[in-house]
Amino acid sequence: MAQATAASNYAGVWDNRLGFGRKTALIVIDLLQGYTLKGAPLFAPGVVKAVGEMPALLKLARQKKMPVIHTRVLYNPSDFIDGGVWIRKAPVLKSLVPGNKYAQFCKGVEPGKGELVITKNYASAFFGTSLAATLTAAGVDTLLITGCTTSGCIRATAVDAVQNGFRPIVVRECVGDRHDGPHEANLFDINAKYGDVISKAEALKYVRSLKSGMKAR
């Protein structure tokens, strides 16, 4: 007997939609040059594409005065103790240290003046950081998630977002990975179980509909 497609197998079981809540923040995860410079160990073609898709969304979010939060990964270069067991599993991350060009933000998507930058040591933007408290204090209940990588920090952040009571909404064109397989598989799984995956066009339409300062629609 032929196996059903993933979409038909999940239909009506794992395909509920959360939608947007009262107030949304845009989170830009780890858009660092280590993922976009050819020859870098972390180089991911999908991230190069995602960076190219970001400026329009960033510009509009800033025009609407939407909270924009960036994350980056940085480790102590002397002993990498802050990387714990994870950096033993993924020693390629050791290039993400102060002063290394791979740890610098990609051109065109750098944090704007006054925008919060959260430094993290693990995949999730929530783990070991003040992100949840910051969002709660700002009255944010929804996250537009962008950045990299889809199978790593994007997925981990989406899972932790819903577990912390936030609505994770991933913008398809604005996230990327090393390979289309893990990228597509994780977008499918996030959309099925943890949040919503929407197109860039849908994200832009939503942001345009907002009053400046992120009042509810």
Residue numbers annotated as active site: 153
Contact present, 75 and 98 (Cβ < 8 Å)? no
Integer Cα distance of 51 and 98 in angstroms: 22
Structure tokens at 154: 């994007």
Alpha helices (runs of H) in the chain, residue ranges in sequence order: 6-10, 45-63, 86-89, 131-137, 155-163, 180-193, 200-208
Residue 52 amino acid letter: G
Q: ∠ CA(73), CA(79), CA(82), 5° rounding? A: 40
CA-nearest of 26, 31, 69, 36 to 175 is 31
